[in-house]
Amino acid sequence: MLNLERLRTLDALARHGSVSGAAEGLHITTSAVSQQMSKLEREVGQQILAKNGRGVRLTDAGRLLAEHAARILSQVELAQSDLEAQRGQVVGELRVAAFPTAARGLFPSALSTLRTEHPALRLRSCELEPEAGIAGVIRGDLDLAVVLDWYNKPMALPEGLVKAHIVDDPADVAMPAGHRLADRDEVDLAEFAEDEWITWGEGEFCHEWLMFTLRSQGIEPHLGHRAPESHTQFALVAAGLGVCIAPLLGRHPMPAGVVTVPLRQRVRRHVFVVWRADADRRPSIRAAVRALRDAGANVS
């Protein structure tokens, strides 16, 4: 009889590609991963792992068993979802992530509501960029991830995930109070062709969106500073070091010396939450989506 926890460890190792990654994803030690794999090899009577430089790789038998493990664990999750749905109770553990401004703008209200209304639900949250959040849900490290795309640059959603809309998040341009356009009611992106932009980190979805959007307006952006966190960007704007995009979600409090002006193009982000389709019937998922939507309705 195959042991479910050992199959779960094998699945994590296959998904993460390393013992250390599997240990981090499962919140156990690397020695515990190795012990579980040794026991699983004895159970199946075949070698599952082979040395690969300083790490390990799955053997052919290991890859075959890992494929079965993924299907078995998916069926187990479906069974747990069905049992939770039959009971209709919001219980167990819920692991959630959100990109930083959503974590600031949505989590305090949504998670507080969940704790008050469902005290038997254990909540764990963290900040992750959208791509990392989606990857965490696919791997099974997370139950839910709040992610985003932009009005003109949608994010592809992998198969096997379900999503629900949370809020459309309008974005302005933040600039120093003494900027030549600070007293305007509306501005065009083209008017910032000579300004220095403060942007997100290289390779981040929002940074790629900004480059795409500015270049579609015929602007080759001057990049002055990079900061993944919006309030760091605002602090740099307050210091007169450039301008940045300022979504409404998680914006406040805005530092002194910064003015936000709406864009005539009505720039906005679509904020949504994703989860695995095989967990779709879990009452805890449904409760969390409702709480996040309620929090999104109060964004101002």
Phi, psi (rounded to 5 degrees) for 206:
-70, -35
> How far apart (Å, rounded) are the C-alpha atoms in residues 284 and 93?
8
pTM for the complete prediction?
Answer: 0.74
User: What secondary structure letter does DSSP report for 27?
Assistant: T
Question: Exposed, middle or buried: residue 180 (CB in 10 Å: 0-12, 13-18, 19+)?
Answer: exposed
Give the tens place of pLDDT for each residue, 142-172.
999 999 999 999 988 888 899 999 999 999 9
User: What secondary structure letter does DSSP report for 94?
Assistant: E
Give the tens place of pLDDT for each residue, 42-66.
999 999 989 888 888 899 998 999 8
Please check the confidence at residue 101 and state whether its pLDDT lies above 70.
yes
Counting residues of the chain whose pLDDT is more than 90, the rounded percentage is 58
DSSP 163-230: EEEEEEEEEEEEEETTSTTTT-S-B-GGGGTTSEEEE--TT-HHHHHHHHHHHHTT---EEEEE-SSH
Instruction: Please give the single-letter amino acid code of residue 131.
Output: E
Q: Which tokens sit at 86?
A: 């039959």
Are the beta carbons of 95 and 276 closer than 8 angstroms? no
3-state helix, strand, coil in the chain (%, to 5): 45, 25, 30
| pLDDT score at 94 | 93
> Crossing angle of helices 60-87/30-44, nearest 10°?
100
Token pair 């959100």: residue = 98
State how far the alpha carbon of 57 is from the alpha carbons of 17, 47, 243, in Å. Answer: 8, 11, 47
State how far the alpha carbon of 31 is from the alpha carbons of 34, 118, 200, in Å. Answer: 5, 36, 37
Q: Could you tell me how far CA 198 lies from the centroid of its own chain?
A: 22
| pLDDT score at 183 | 96
Give the tens place of pLDDT for each residue, 246-262.
999 988 889 999 999 99
Instruction: Please give the single-letter amino acid code of residue 50.
Output: A
Give the tens place of pLDDT for each residue, 189-243.
999 999 999 999 888 889 999 999 999 988 999 998 999 889 999 999 999 999 9
State how far the alpha carbon of 186 is from the alpha carbons of 177, 213, 271, in Å. Answer: 15, 18, 24
